[in-house]
Amino acid sequence: MKKTFPLLLLTVVVTMTITGCKKRSFTAEGPTDVRIHNQTGQVTEEVTVTTTDDPAYGKRVHNYGIVASGDYTDYYRFDIAFTEADITLKIGGVIYSTPVTQFDYLTFIGPDRITYRLTIADPVNRILDIETVIEEPIDDL
């Protein structure tokens, strides 16, 4: 017992020191930094991303504005994000969008930086396709 207590105390102190050095408000859900890579071959306007339909999350909708063909946007920090998202945009005044996402059964990405690569899946019906690239963990909190 006399040897166990100091070992337990040392373990607690080391654990608190390691986890206490950097305050992090991360959870399994996020936040997630999201950017857009426009691979549509067109200039896109009013690029709006909705990462969840749950109103309990604060930052869940963002408009990235105009994105030139081939360009990346800056990252925007969402409280939560999934590999799928609801994205709408305009090309030459015509609205394109992803199919409606059922967020209920998706898995959270978590505290990572990701890129949604957008392409046109069906130009006749104006449907977009998303490829999600997880790039790196967020480590700045």
φ, ψ at 53 (rounded to 5°):
-100, 5
pLDDT tens digit at each of 141 positions of the chain? 555 555 544 454 444 444 444 344 567 788 999 999 999 999 999 999 999 999 889 899 999 999 999 999 999 999 999 999 999 999 999 999 999 999 888 999 999 999 999 999 999 999 999 999 999 999 865
What are the boundaries of each domain within the chain? 25-137
What's the pLDDT score for residue 3?
58
pTM, full prediction: 0.79
- Superfamily for the 25-137 domain: Domain of unknown function DUF5300 (2.60.40.2890)
Report DSSP letters for 38-60, one per residue.
Answer: E-SSS-BEEEEEE--S-TTSSS-
Residues in Cβ contact with 126 at an 8 Å cutoff, skipping those fewer than 6 apart:
94, 95, 96, 97, 120
C-alpha angle 11/29/39, rounded to 5°?
130
- List pLDDT tens digits, range 50-82: 999 998 898 999 999 999 999 999 999 999 999
What's the pLDDT score for residue 26?
62
